[in-house]
Amino acid sequence: MKIAFFSVLKEYQEFFNNSFSKDEVFCFEEKLTKEKLNQIKDFEVVSVFVDSIVDKDIIDNLSNLKFITTRSTGFDHVDYQYAKSKGIAFSNVPVYGSSTVAEFTFALILNLSRKISEALRQLKEGGIFEALKNIQGFDLDGKIIGVIGTGKIGKNVIRIAKAFNMKVLAYDLYPDLNFAKENNFEYKDFNEVISVSDIITLHTPSTKENYHLINKESISKMKKGVYIINTARGELINTEDLILGVKEGIVGGVGLDVLEGERDFKKGDKIAFFEIPNVIVTPHIAFYSKEAVDRIAETTVDNIKGFMSGNLQNLVK
C-alpha cells in the first residue's frame, strides 16, 4: 500500500519511513498541489497538513485513493463529504495540543498585555532601561476574558485564566454546564460576552455559520480598548474590519497566530497587520511544540495502521 505524506519536516520523515515498509512511504516537504498528482496517481493513502487543500479536483485525480488523514484537528481544508461519497475514509487527530495551543494563547496575551515585543524593539533601537515610552502594560488579575468556544483548547484557556484570577465569560453552542460549575464561570450569549470582555479569545472551528464571526458589526459592540486573540482559524475574522477596528481605537491590541487566506500567501507577500502598532502575528505555530508534533505523528501512524488493518480510528463521519 503506497502512502504519501505532505508538508513533512525532514526530522519526521525518518519516523514515518520507519513506521511502514520503506517501499510504501513517500514523504514530501511541500504541500499537496495539483502539480504533485502525477507523482502519486496510484497511491491509496494520503496524509496532509492544514496547508494542503484536498478538494474535489484533487480527489477525482487520485483514482486509487482509499484513505485521507490530516495531521490536524481542524479539517476545513479537506472536502471529506465528497471523499465519503466516493467511499474514501477520512480521519484527523482529534487531540494532540489542547494544552499546547492554550499555552500559546496566553503567550500572546502576556506579550500584548505587558508590551514585551515593543519593549524589545525599543531596546534594540538603542533605548535605555530608564526610557519607558509607550510600554506601560496592564495586569490580567481581575480582567474579564471572553472565551469563544469551550472545547478542549477553550477549557484549558479557562483553567489558565483562572490561575491569573481573571473573570471568565464563555460562549459555546453546546455549553458544558458541569465544567462551568466546577471552574466557577458563566456562559452568556455571544453579544454579551464580546460587549463586556477586556480580552476576547477564539477557539472555535471554521464553519459556514461562524465565517467572519468577528466583523464590523460585532466589533462595534465591543468594549473600547478590547484585545482580540485568534489561535483557531483565520476565517473567523474579517481582516479588513479588524484593521479598521484597531485604527478607530475600538480594538486596543491583537494577537494572531492564524490569518484569513493564509494558505494562499506566498513568500514575500506583505501582511497588512505589520504596519499597525500593538499587533502580534505569528505563522500558525500555536500547535508547534515538540510534544504536540510528536503526538500528531504518532496518532497519524496509528490512524493509517488502523485503516490498513480494518480497524479505523479517529474517523470523521
DSSP assignments along 41-88, one per residue? TT-SEEEE-TT--B-HHHHHT-TT--EEEESSS--TTB-HHHHHHTT-
Residues labelled catalytic:
233, 262, 284
pLDDT averaged over every residue in the chain = 94
Who's near 124: CB < 8 A, 6+ residues apart? none
Query: Which domains are present in the chain?
Result: 3-96+290-309 (3.40.50.720), 98-281 (3.40.50.720)
Measured between alpha carbons, how far is residue 239 from residues 1, 141, 233, 272, 299 in Å?
43, 30, 12, 9, 34
Predicted local confidence at residue 181, as pLDDT: 98
Predicted local confidence at residue 301, as pLDDT: 96
Angle (CA) 187 190 192, round 5°: 80
Q: Could you tell me the maximum CA-CA distance found in the chain, to the nearest angstrom?
A: 67
Mapped onto helix, strand or coil, the DSSP state of residue 237 is strand
* pLDDT tens-place string over residues 292-310: 999 999 999 999 999 999 9
Lowest mean pLDDT among 16-20, 119-123, 181-185, 243-247: 119-123
* 69 alpha carbon, distance to own chain's centre: 17
Gap between the Cα atoms of 71 and 31, Å rounded: 12
Question: What are φ and ψ of residue 146, in 5° steps?
Answer: -100, 115
Which of 174, 192, 203 shows the shortest CA–CA distance to 106?
203
Gap between the Cα atoms of 231 and 36, Å rounded: 30
AA identity, residue 88: I
* pLDDT tens-place string over residues 209-264: 999 999 999 999 999 999 999 999 999 999 999 999 999 999 999 999 999 988 88
pLDDT exceeds cutoff 80 at 128: no
pLDDT level of residue 130 (50, 70, 90 thresholds): low
Which residue shows C-alpha cell 514585551?
116
Q: What is the CA radius of gyration of the chain?
A: 21
Predicted local confidence at residue 271, as pLDDT: 84
Express as a percent the part of the chain with pLDDT over 70.
98
Gap between the Cα atoms of 59 and 299, Å rounded: 23
pTM as predicted: 0.90
pLDDT exceeds cutoff 80 at 288: yes
Predicted local confidence at residue 173, as pLDDT: 96
Sign of CA dihedral 86, 89, 94, 100: negative
Predicted local confidence at residue 136, as pLDDT: 92
Predicted local confidence at residue 170, as pLDDT: 98
Gap between the Cα atoms of 273 and 266, Å rounded: 16
pLDDT exceeds cutoff 70 at 131: no
* pLDDT tens-place string over residues 260-270: 988 888 877 88
Strands 226-230 and 186-187: unpaired
Gap between the Cα atoms of 143 and 153, Å rounded: 20
Predicted local confidence at residue 280, as pLDDT: 96
